[in-house]
Amino acid sequence: MRTSPRASSSSSRRSTKPRRRPTKIGLVAAPSSYDVVVVGGGVTGAGVARDLSLRGLSVLLLEKGDWGAGTSGASSWMIHGGPRYLEYDWDTTRLSCQDAGHIVSIARNLVYRVVFIIPVLPHDRNNIERMETAMEVYDRFQPLKHAHPHRRLTAEEAREAEPGLAPDVIGAVTMEEWGVDPHRLVFANVQDAMAHGARAMNHTRVTGLIRDAGKVIGVRYQGPDGAGSEARAQAVVNATGPWSPELGAMAGVDIELRPAKGIHLVYPHRISNFSISAESIDGRDLLMVAHAGFTLLGTTDDDFYGDLGSVEVQEDEVDYLLQAFERVFPSIRRYRAVRTTAGVRPTLYKWRGVPQARPPGAVHDRDPASARKRIRP
């Protein structure tokens, strides 16, 4: 016997298909005017954008590549306190430790302790007494960044802590710094800036500055889709690192930097549980930094006036690093680096600084609070 299904009313019929939702979402038009436009999405630009946003300013942050993909990402992955400046510039060491302390307090979940062993060999430039004196001075600044004081180690204690050290090590001192993933730190600043109202755009290149009677009043930029836009601002911050002269030229400002190339060798594991310092053939201090699950060995410091978008590692630079560490860690060449990193630091000429003359609307200031006072009287 054949039956037909019972008809059901439309009110009781249930469909197995999901409800269709609107496919078009209205886009919120981007504002064309801001208090500040920050150009450069490294740790400096992202930090400035966050700081200004927290102070209630409207901010546009522009980065031509990815967040932290330039100088910040090619670093040694440390927030160090500037011990190298102890010999001639205590103020820089103090400021470095203060800034490191602020980061540790704000983002304790992103940082971790990195303990260095600084070995001393018989013919080193600095003997063990001089190294300990330097560390005693550095200990005065360590509380600013919540770090522990140094310890002096005998040769036996140093080799017990790290058996891979050279047999002719005559002693060592320890030093504590903070490690950090720079990409996470940069992106955390970008996210917090956006959470406080900033607009952030990466893969967006500044193509020009808008000027009125010599005053910088905004920027022209090209987004990832190739479309051009403009943004007016009361101030434009140049946070582009080694690219600063390019943006400065658009504003009619001659920024003279010494672009310093630095490379690192990357090992896929910890070579030691401690980070180790070594003296290079030209007297520079090099670092083998033990991070969680990998090791960075670097860094070089060479003048670089080539294409900033194409920085390559040379064979002699690799040998320069390995030759230095063979003295204090003889087995270093037995370990295989899986890749390298290369970047350019925006260091200043030693005999001159950044010119003080700058067009109105262009901000170069260590203190965002003072910038806020100028923008909003």
Supply the CATH number for residue 149's domain: 3.30.9.10
pLDDT band at residue 350, thresholds of 50, 70 and 90?
low
* Position 5 pLDDT exceeds 60: no
pLDDT digits (tens, 9 = 90+) for 116-153: 999 999 988 889 999 999 999 999 999 999 999 999 99
* Position 189 pLDDT exceeds 70: yes
In this prediction the pTM is 0.83
Calculate ∠ Cα 249-301-312, nearest 5°. 75
Q: What is the mean pLDDT of residues 8-15?
A: 44
Residues 196 and 208 in one domain: yes
In a domain, 361, yes or no: no
Q: Is 137 exposed, middle or buried (0-12, 13-18, 19+ CB in 10 A)?
A: middle
Calculate ∠ Cα 161-164-168, nearest 5°. 95
Measured in residues, the chain has a length of 377
Which of 224, 255, 286 marks a domain boundary? Answer: 255
Interhelix angle 182-195/43-54, nearest 10 degrees: 30
In a domain, 199, yes or no: yes
Residues 172 and 269 in one domain: yes
* Position 171 pLDDT exceeds 80: yes
DSSP track, 81-100: --GGGGGT-HHHHHHHHHHH
Q: What is the CATH number of the domain that holds 208?
A: 3.50.50.60
Q: What is the pLDDT of residue 371?
A: 37
Which of 255, 280, 312 marks a domain boundary? Answer: 255
pLDDT digits (tens, 9 = 90+) for 208-248: 999 998 899 999 999 999 999 999 999 999 999 999 999 99
pLDDT digits (tens, 9 = 90+) for 13-48: 444 544 554 434 334 456 789 999 999 999 999 999
Residues 193 and 66 in one domain: yes
The domain tally of the chain equals 2
Q: What is the pLDDT of residue 1?
A: 44
Q: What is the pLDDT of residue 123?
A: 87
In a domain, 210, yes or no: yes
Peptide bond into 299 cis (omega under 30): yes
Residues 199 and 334 in one domain: no
Residues 340 and 199 in one domain: no
Closest to 181 measured CA to CA, from 322, 290, 73: 73
In a domain, 15, yes or no: no
Residues 49 and 61 in one domain: yes
Contact 343, 312 (CB under 8 A): no
Interhelix angle 43-54/368-375, nearest 10 degrees: 50
Residues 194 and 339 in one domain: no
pLDDT band at residue 361, thresholds of 50, 70 and 90?
low
Residues 143 and 235 in one domain: no
In a domain, 67, yes or no: yes
- Per cent of the chain over pLDDT 70 is 85
In angstroms and rounded to an integer, the radius of gyration of the C-alpha atoms of the chain is 26
pLDDT digits (tens, 9 = 90+) for 287-338: 999 999 999 999 999 999 999 999 999 999 999 999 999 999 999 999 999 9
In a domain, 7, yes or no: no
DSSP track, 279-321: E-TTS-EEEEEEETTEEEEE---EE--S-TT-----HHHHHHH
pLDDT band at residue 87, thresholds of 50, 70 and 90?
confident
Query: d(Cα 372, Cα 58) in Å, to the nearest integer?
Result: 11
In a domain, 277, yes or no: yes
Q: What is the pLDDT of residue 19?
A: 53
- The overall average pLDDT reported for the chain is 88
341: containing domain: 111-177+258-348
**SS3 of 42, please?**
coil
pLDDT band at residue 80, thresholds of 50, 70 and 90?
confident
Q: What is the pLDDT of residue 348?
A: 83
Which of 216, 235, 255 marks a domain boundary? Answer: 255
In a domain, 101, yes or no: no
Residues 233 and 276 in one domain: no
Closest to 273 measured CA to CA, from 164, 156, 181: 164
Residues 120 and 221 in one domain: no
Q: What is the pLDDT of residue 125?
A: 87
pLDDT band at residue 273, thresholds of 50, 70 and 90?
very high
Residues 50 and 188 in one domain: yes
Residues 306 and 173 in one domain: yes
Q: What is the pLDDT of residue 7?
A: 45
Query: d(Cα 312, Cα 302) in Å, to the nearest integer?
Result: 12
